[in-house]
C-alpha cells in the first residue's frame, strides 16, 4: 500500500510541475514576446492569406 502512495505523490508532483512550466511559457509568450491571447503575431494569422 505504501508504494501506491509514493506513485500517487510522484504523479501529482509531475502534474504540478508540468502546469507550472506551461504557465511560465504562456506568460512569457503574452508578456515578453507580445503574442496576444487571440493569436496576434502568430504564423498563419495574416489577413492577406484569406
Q: Is 25 left (phi over 0), alpha (psi -120 to 50) or beta?
A: alpha
For the record, the C-alpha cell of 41 comes out as 503575431
Distance between CA atoms of residues 18 and 39, nearest Å: 22
The pLDDT profile of the chain, 50 residues, written as one tens digit per residue, is 999 999 999 999 999 999 999 999 988 888 888 787 666 666 665 555 44
The pLDDT assigned to 33 comes to: 80
Q: How far apart are CA 45 and CA 30, in angstroms?
A: 16
Query: Which structural domain, as residue segments, surrounds residue 29?
Result: 2-49
Neighbours of 6 (CB within 10 A): 9
pTM for the full predicted model: 0.65
Residue 30: the pLDDT is 84
Tally of domains in the chain: 1
How many other C-beta atoms can be found within 10 angstroms of the C-beta atom of residue 34? Answer: 9
Amino acid at each position: 500500500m505504501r508504494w501506491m502512495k509514493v506513485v500517487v505523490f510522484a504523479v501529482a508532483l509531475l502534474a504540478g510541475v508540468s502546469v507550472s512550466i506551461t504557465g511560465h511559457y504562456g506568460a512569457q509568450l503574452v508578456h515578453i514576446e507580445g503574442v496576444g491571447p487571440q493569436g496576434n503575431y502568430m504564423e498563419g494569422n495574416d489577413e492577406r492569406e484569406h
